[in-house]
Chains A and B, each alone.
Chain A
Amino acid sequence: SQQGEEDPQALSIQEGENATMNCSYKTSINNLQWYRQNSGRGLVHLILIRSNEREKHSGRLRVTLDTSKKSSSLLITASRAADTASYFCATVAFGNEKLTFGTGTRLTIIP
């Protein structure tokens, strides 16, 4: 399996704090994507970072990618209760259309 690992598996922080989640993967990639999933729901696409990019921002989200270490991080700044969800990274290899998902991080924001 090429499934990636996410770290930590679960994270609880106070509202207003920053949350950082990490993702490691095993093979070379074309791009890496982050998704959010609320309990019992489908996935919402958050951000895509390509293999030739090192950092990307979208609102309160900041994603970094280190292809030499085969790792990525997702930072959510100024967290809100509504950010409570599971977050998954997913990679796409070159010449491939498939998403390979990581194991996910369950984030809980404490009001």
Chain B
Amino acid sequence: GAVVSQHPSRVICKSGTSVKIECRSLDFQATTMFWYRQFPKKSLMLMATSNEGSKATYEQGVEKDKFLINHASLTLSTLTVTSAHPEDSSFYICSASRLAADTQYFGPGTRLTVL
């Protein structure tokens, strides 16, 4: 159990467009979901924490108007990168947990390339 999926796995888009990434907990209900960003050969940096039915909490330095997070149900959270630019190209990984301080289960990641 505790499987998390992400869609799409890869996306290439033009500069200025918006891209939506989905994160789903397939076999459990996730009260809390987390979004991370990872640059090549680097560690994961937490972008935001989202709790079902409430606004996401963003980490310092993360633009909430650029990275829109919606956690509308206990099994789905979405990250929308608005007006994407080449510097937004990165590997985006989500994780989900049943309770706020519970073990996080990670999705397989989404590689975003902005041309």
A-side interface residues toward B, CB under 8 Å?
Answer: 3, 30, 33, 35, 40-45, 48, 88, 92, 96-104, 106
B-side interface residues toward A, CB under 8 Å?
Answer: 4, 6, 32, 34, 41-46, 49, 91, 93, 95, 97, 100-101, 103-109, 111
Instruction: Say which residue of A35, A40, A100, A101 sits within 8 Å of B91 (CB atoms).
Output: A40
Asked if B49 and A42 sit within 8 Å, CB to CB, the answer is no
Asked if B32 and A97 sit within 8 Å, CB to CB, the answer is yes
Chain B interface SS verdict (over half): strand
What separation, in Å, do the CA atoms of A30 and B42 have in the docked complex?
Answer: 24
In the complex with contacts A97-B32, A98-B49, A103-B43, A43-B106 CB distance below 8 A: yes
Asked if A97 and B107 sit within 8 Å, CB to CB, the answer is no
